[in-house]
Structure 1
Amino acid sequence: MTTSKLEASTSTWDVSQFQHTPFYCEENVYLLCKELSAKGIADAQSSDLFVVFISNEKKQIPLWHQKASNRADGVVLWDYHVICIQKKGGGDSPSHNLVWDLDSTLSFPCDLASYVSETIRPTFQTFPEFQRYFRIVHAPIFLRCFASDRRHMKDSLGDWLHQPPLYEPIVSEDGTVHNLNDYFDISAAEAVKEAGDGMSDAVFTQKLGVVVGESQLEEFFSQIS
């Protein structure tokens, strides 16, 4: 008995089937996008996938249901985090879109509406410095342009803060060796004020995608085709 591509793409997957190195979420998601496409879970060109960097100017973002937490509610205060969001079908419901978060204790994948409610918790009252912003980058662009030599994971003496993956560092198609900071350096000033056609067009053409606030994340994915 076989499972259709549509059925396979909406089922829950064993997260251990995917490459994961703790604290290297950007590289994990880079490889995840390729693997989802290779397995037929996503489009062969990754055109239905979006890489989403979550951060702010203070580099302090609370996220719940994270494996790295030692609290019952799973909350972690990350400097930044990276997830993959898959646009599903043509519906405008957030539940039609899927979040792939390798560091989450929620289902893998999790529908977008549930992920926002459980992990981001926009109704939870926090201090303004904990406001989260989302840089959304179309996966095909990210896979061509992203590069990291992992310099951010070394201390002032050159020692590793966290052990790196065993594979070679990721180099972009044009030979760039490091541009990670361009993605996770996110400021409130970059955030679009209103969702609209211009924002949707930009994510398919801009190397660094578009930045949206907490209240715009679900709306953004309901608008793009």
Structure 2
Amino acid sequence: MATSNLDSSTSIMESVEIPRFHHTPFYCEENVYLLCKKLSADGIAKSDGSDLFVIFISNEHKQIPLWHQKASHRADGVILWDYHVICMQKRKDSNLPHLVWDLDSSLPIPSPLSTYVSETIRPSFQLFSEFQRFFRIVHAPIFLHSFASDRRHMKDSAGNWVHPPPSYDVIVAEDGTMHNLNEYIDMSPADVVKSIGDDTKNDVLAQRLGVLVSESQLEEFFSLVF
């Protein structure tokens, strides 16, 4: 992921280790990939990751404002990403809030879904249409089998890295696919589900690219179908 012109700074953040979790700035999709594996391996999530959901946030214009982001140089933490990726954990106890894991956030990690929505997405903040955000919800077990990135999107036209890559090998899908990140972040209003119901849940649990929901449907999806 990369910033847009809301934040004019071009300084590159050094790779850091957030306690317990590997984190490489600007590689949120890979951070979440490793996060899902570690949450499952450490017993924080189910061993098969079935209580985890990967959420890609973007839009047609690849301009989405999010607040409380560490990469921001503004007091309110707002930044304009081309896309962002987070992990949502469904709690076993229905009385407990669903949790959002965003390793790029300055909010507590994890944060309750309702808190994350109100503080980071800020639906009450009026945005121009080109900044409206869409959310692709993908079941983590499917994501871990299917996602691939050779990091081509992080190179400029001369083949130089825009941001330093992680030190580990690129992520290759189980079927041998080398790169499909673009499929996850390609979003159009026409692809947003018309309504939330059992069929939406079934699609998330079965479809490689999950489902695309609007900002107003995000919390509704997790409250109604899980």
TM superposition score normalised by structure 2 = 0.91
Q: Distance in 1 between matches of 2:135 and 2:20?
A: 27
> Can you list the C-alpha shifts for 1:126-180, whole angstroms capped at 9, x where unaligned?
1011000000000000000000000000000100000100000000000000000
Amino acid paired to 2:41: A
Tell me, yes or no, if the aligned pair for 1:202 and 1:209 is still in contact at 8 Å.
Answer: yes
Paired position in structure 2 for 1:163: 164
Matches within 5 A, 1:27-176: 27-89=30-92, 91=94, 96-176=97-177
Paired position in structure 2 for 1:179: 180
Task: Report the Cα offset of residue 96 of structure 1.
Answer: 1.2
Task: Report the Cα offset of residue 17 of structure 1.
Answer: 1.6
Task: Report the Cα offset of residue 89 of structure 1.
Answer: 2.4
Q: Distance in 2 between matches of 1:19 and 1:189?
A: 35
Aligned length: 210
Amino acid paired to 1:115: Y
Amino acid paired to 1:40: G
Amino acid paired to 1:222: S
Amino acid paired to 2:85: V
Describe the SS at the equivalent of 1:212: strand
Task: Report the Cα offset of residue 105 of structure 1.
Answer: 0.4
Task: Report the Cα offset of residue 78 of structure 1.
Answer: 0.2
Are 2:212 and 1:211 aligned?
yes
Q: Distance in 1 between matches of 2:213 and 2:166?
A: 30
Which blocks of at least 5 consecutive residues in structure 1 are unaligned? 1-13
Task: Report the Cα offset of residue 90 of structure 1.
Answer: 5.2
Q: Distance in 2 between matches of 1:15 and 1:36?
A: 14
Task: Report the Cα offset of residue 106 of structure 1.
Answer: 0.4
How well do the aligned residues superpose, as a CA RMSD in angstroms? 1.2
Matches within 5 A, 1:183-198: 183-198=184-199
> Can you list the C-alpha shifts for 1:165-220, whole angstroms capped at 9, x where unaligned?
00000000000000000001111111111111110110000000000000000011
Describe the SS at the equivalent of 1:53: strand
Q: Distance in 1 between matches of 2:34 and 2:190?
A: 30
Q: Distance in 1 between matches of 2:174 and 2:194?
A: 32
Paired position in structure 1 for 2:224: 223
Q: Distance in 1 between matches of 2:206 and 2:171?
A: 22
Q: Distance in 1 between matches of 2:29 and 2:225?
A: 23
Tell me, yes or no, if the aligned pair for 2:86 and 2:101 is still in contact at 8 Å.
Answer: yes
Amino acid paired to 1:148: S
Which blocks of at least 5 consecutive residues in structure 2 are unaligned? 1-16
Amino acid paired to 1:158: G
Task: Report the Cα offset of residue 224 of structure 1.
Answer: 2.5
Amino acid paired to 1:215: S
Tell me, yes or no, if the aligned pair for 1:55 and 1:184 is still in contact at 8 Å.
Answer: yes
TM superposition score normalised by structure 1 = 0.91
Q: Distance in 2 between matches of 1:187 and 1:90?
A: 34
Matches within 5 A, 1:12-27: 15-27=18-30
Amino acid paired to 1:50: F
Describe the SS at the equivalent of 2:88: strand
